[in-house]
Structure 1
Amino acid sequence: MTEEGEIRRHLVLIKPVSLEDEKDSEQTASSVIRRVFSLFKNVRLGSDLANLQVPPQLSQPKSQLQCYAEMIYSFGGKDLLGECSRRDSPIERLKSVVTWNISKLRPVLFGSPYNPILGETHHVSNGHINVLIEQVSHHPPVSALHATHAKENIDVAWVQYFSPKFRGAYVEIEVKGKRVMKLHSRKETYHMEQPRLILRFPGPGGYWDGKTKLKCPETGLAADLHLNSGSFMERFRGNNRSLKGKIYESSSGNMLYEIFGHWDRTVMAKNLKTGEVEVIYDAQETITGLKPPIVKNLEEVMESESALVWGEVSEGIMKKDWERAGKAKRLVEEKQRESLEQREASGEPWVPKHFSVVKDGKDWECSPLQPTVPRAPLVITKAQGEIVNRFQDSKT
């Protein structure tokens, strides 16, 4: 098989998680409980789970990098990122930033994505939006993301790392790192926070929870959002995933809008001066029927691309060939260990290709090396199937 054919055979692109996927999940409560308890039976309360080894049977067929990047490049309906700059007034732009942040909340299905290897990347374009994410540290796991909107001159930069803790009845994942959006044509900067993730037992999936803040120093406007995962009975009744908050002037605390609703349904904003209520977010329009990327230019796909690095593992998981998936996963991890040993032997430090990285105590600072993200070889188009394993050799 030629080198190009080998790449095609192992490049596996998976559909992003959509709202409807929860109902179609194959996981039953009983099977989830058995598999989760088998994983955590030897884990102590309060333990850090960042380096927990997850077997293929408990894995999703995609890397954590893909899960992060999908929050930006995968959407239906309006281009909500572009809307952030298109609005004329500062308050309307802040409302749009709030809406875009809500759109990044996605259902969390049972199963752990792969822990990205050092230097792994994911590069995808959707319309005017280009997204590039790189794993800049493996221990601890740290990801740096850069997204740009070519038409509206928007820049989004994240550095993301997490601290998962086992709490007995649930796993609490605190998502850390700076998130900044710059609307260059408006000369505005927005600082954003991420809610924590709660994985409760029994039952598959997880829930976003906690308080987050968005603020724009240039306009003096800010927003507070509070996500509530709910009690067991509230989740049973479908009353979980509620969201409430406010938009206000930072200096005076004067409230301008009240925010309320459910992030998996609709979210409303009430103008406290006029009493007018408007729908600012509709999950049905934004996060249903999401499509996977397809390959537009195979020659430009980087060797570090997530869909290529983990392709063999993903194929095994999708076919429920656990032996094949486990063997492929071990090969990826062994290759990473060998690379680490070689660097240690030579005394040559690893340097990210797309970001400059500085660690300040427990915090990480990551800055893109290029001002804009180039067009990606993997793209989102309108006419795509639900799961694309476009180049798999059906005879193998």
Structure 2
Amino acid sequence: MKNPNMSLPLAPVRCDDKRDEQHHKSAWFQFIKSVATFKGDLTSLTAPPFLLAPQSIVEYSTYWAEHPSLLVSPAKEKSAEKRALKVLQWFLSTLKHQHASKDDNGRRKKMKPLNPFLGEIFLGKWQDNAGTTNLVTEQVSHHPPATAFRIWNDTHGVKLEGHVIPKAYFSSTINIERKGYSILHVDKYDEDYHITMPKVHLEGIVTFQIAPELSGMSYIRSSSGYTSRINYSSKGWVKGKSNSFTATLYADHHENDPLYVLEGQWNDSYVIKNGKGEVLDTVNLASLQRTPLQVAPVESQHPLESRRAWKHVVDAINANDVFAVGHEKSKIENAQRALRRQEKDAGEIWSRRYFTRAEKDPVAEKLSVTSKAGAAEGQDAMIWKFDDEKYKRTMEYQHSGIKSPTHSRFDSGIGIIEIETIG
């Protein structure tokens, strides 16, 4: 089902960074004005094309495992206390590049990643001294937006599973809360770690030097009886440094008697102290070498895979072709709306490819840290669990080349196709 107008030739409109800097600033402040008066979740608000990053939010799950050796390191540690410390150190290693305001080349990042469509997937793997670490991500909900992922390493018996439900609002600046949680499981010790994420707010919106900053608290609580509490703080008016944190690791019910205290900057370095305040180690996060993620070539990816689906939009973003960005993005959004209407008319519900919605999560219920308000940290109305049977069946079908003529799927934003590999 194609829109005949989509084939019309379009003259590209190019943007020169210097020439259009003032125009971008003007458009940015107009956008902030609309944000300040917008009622509801800001994730549904359309951002100006020049703010769009050339990747979808589904790719953000890769930040969890850029250092596979740190992810699997708890499996090699006999002491439960030190395993909890290793989990905390791995978690801190995931924050730098996820929230960095500049890329590896020192260029300022675009602020707004692409909003995933329902059913969008992102698959990949890391291969290094830790063996093979696999990644499966799926956009399991669009309203509200929810991204679920599973990362696992069979060699070391470690798996990480979680879902993120972001909600953005305006209060002096743009703030993002990330509901949902992750569970890290270590097979060797049958041990679980319940992990929540900090809040994010944008600094520099007046000066147009936009940078994410973390705030509030997040927790990592283990089934072995240890909890890490991380406090985040930004630069104050008088003193302090940006991107600062203080993390305390303590045995449950002994919060005022920490075993370790880690403090520093999550984008630079930090020190590890014991409970007596003695420095045990200094960790330079900037020196950590990331293992590159391996993904299939775009042309051989599934139509629902993020980089294939958004290819034309990303190409336009990288070419600074503002008109093409809006045009290609609208094609995807319109195709999605058409598919949702078809499902509604047919009384159907989109079938998730790798995840299944659950009513309860006993591990999360047991390990969640309860806030002063009485709510469990990271909990939300939606719980999404990786479905091993779905994954196994999908892999078997793909290996056999089995097709389904009845399961309509979205095809790269161009239209709706009738045949694709079963999921």
| TM-score, normalised by the number of residues in structure 1 | 0.79
2:143 is the alignment partner of 1:139: yes
C-alpha contact (below 8 Å) 2:126/2:292 kept by paired residues:
no
Give unpaired runs (5+ residues) of structure 2.
Answer: 1-16, 102-108, 361-378, 396-423
RMSD value over aligned CA atoms? 2.9
Please tell me whether residue 208 in structure 1 is matched to residue 214 in structure 2: yes
Equivalent position of 2:334 in the other structure: 334
Distance, in Å, in 2 between the alignment partners of 1:359 and 1:174 is 22
1:131–1:373 CA contact under 8 A, matched in 2:
no
Give the count of matched residue pairs.
341
Equivalent runs, 1:309-348 vs 2, <5 Å: 309-348=309-348
Structure 2 matches for 1:51-200, cutoff 5 A? 51-66=44-59, 68-75=60-67, 79-105=69-95, 106=98, 107-108=100-101, 109-127=109-127, 128-168=132-172, 170-200=173-203
Q: Which residue of 2 aligns with 1:223?
A: 228
* Counterpart secondary structure, 1:284: helix
**2:404 matched residue in structure 1:** none
* Comparing 198-207 and 363-372, the one that deviates more: 363-372
1:232 Cα deviation after fit: 6.1
Q: Which moved more, 1:251-260 or 1:89-98?
A: 251-260
Q: In structure 1, what is the Cα distance between the partners aligned to 2:123 and 2:169?
A: 30
Aligned-partner Cα distance in 2 for 1:366–1:347: 22
Instruction: Report deviation, 1:298.
Output: 5.9
State the SS of the aligned residue for 1:255: coil
Offset of residue 294 of structure 1: 4.8
- Cα deviations by residue, 1:205-256 (Å, 9 ceiling, x for unpaired): 2112211111112x21111111112236768xxx211111211110333321
Q: Residues 232 and 60 (structure 1 numbering): CA distance in 2 closer, same or farther, change over 3 Å?
A: farther
Aligned-partner Cα distance in 2 for 1:161–1:101: 19
- Give the alignment partner of residue 286 of structure 2, picking from 281, 284, 304: 284
Quote the Cα distance in structure 1 between the aligned partners of 2:326 and 2:122.
22
**Cα contact 1:260–1:269 (8 A) shared by 2:** yes
**1:380 alignment partner in structure 2:** none
SS of 2:211 mapped into structure 1: coil
- Which structure has the larger Rg? 2
* Identity across matched positions, percent: 22
C-alpha distance in 2, partners of 1:192/1:157? 10
Instruction: Give me the whole-angstrom Cα distance separating, in 2, the residues matched to 1:229 and 1:215.
Output: 24
Matches of 2:194 and 2:65, distance apart in 1: 20
Q: Is the 8 A contact 1:160 1:176 kept in 2?
A: yes
Give the whole-Å Cα distance in 1 for the aligned partners of 2:235 and 2:388: 42
Corresponding position of 1:50: 43
Change (3 A) 1:277 1:171: same
